[in-house]
Amino acid sequence: MKIGVFDSGIGGLNILNGLQQALPEHDFEYACDTEHVPYGNKSPEEIIRLTTAGVQQLAKDCEVVVIACNTATSYAIDTLRQVYPNTRFVGLEPAIKPASALTESGALAVCATPATLASANYRQLLQAHAKGLTVVEPDCSNWASLIEHGQADQIQLEGLSSELCEKGCDTVVLGCTHYHTLKPKLAKLIPGAAILEPCDAVLKQVKRFL
């Protein structure tokens, strides 16, 4: 079986690599929209249009397509399922549910794009799983662009880590696949914190389809 992975840029390669390691018997195809990356500062209508066009070839070639972008999932996955009814889509969403189960301090941080944080899907996740918790949403609006262009070292994680420690955050949700590259540095700066990304959840869902 062929499995497709789509992202606005290089962030989805983290998901692709994890799937390839776990499912070496399957073929994979990757597509990204580097012309329009990042998606996190675009309008909902533009995100839907770009994502629908970006997955067109994957939908033809692959039985399962992973939308390795929280922003694209939040706004476009329902449209994708209507436009490409013969393809099974696996989307991403910020790991609010597992984070709420892990936190001991009652405070968690969600690092995500402005579009993801503004989405109805994200607000529903908070309503369902984060009642009574302190949720910190730091400004990550330029992270994806910097990472995409090889400038991740310009992201001031030291200031972020100080802010999160001051607010008692013991759990950090990485709500954009671009941000996965920051996980090792965040782990050093916030020792003992749980840093969550969706690779395991995506793999579980893909296996269910297989």
Q: Name the phi and psi angles at 153, rounded to 5.
A: -70, -10
CB 174 within 8 A of CB 196: yes
Q: Name the phi and psi angles at 173, rounded to 5.
A: -100, 120
Active site residues per annotation? 69, 176
Question: Is residue 162 scored above 90 in pLDDT?
Answer: yes
Could you tell me which of 134, 131, 125, 142 has the C-alpha nearest to residue 178?
A: 142
Instruction: Show the domains of the chain with their CATH numbers.
Output: 2-92+199-209 (3.40.50.1860), 96-196 (3.40.50.1860)
Going across the sheet that includes 171-174, the strands are 134-136, 107-111, 171-174, 194-196
- The pLDDT tens digits for 8-57 are 999 999 999 999 999 999 999 999 999 999 999 999 999 999 999 999 99
Residue 125 Cα distances to 24, 66, 128, 162, 195, angstroms: 33, 20, 5, 26, 18
- The pLDDT tens digits for 56-67 are 999 999 999 999
pTM over 0.75: yes
Could you tell me which of 93, 84, 99, 70 has the C-alpha nearest to residue 12?
A: 70
* Burial category of 129 from C-beta neighbours within 10 Å (exposed 0-12, middle 13-18, buried 19 and up): middle
Q: Name the phi and psi angles at 135, rounded to 5.
A: -115, 115
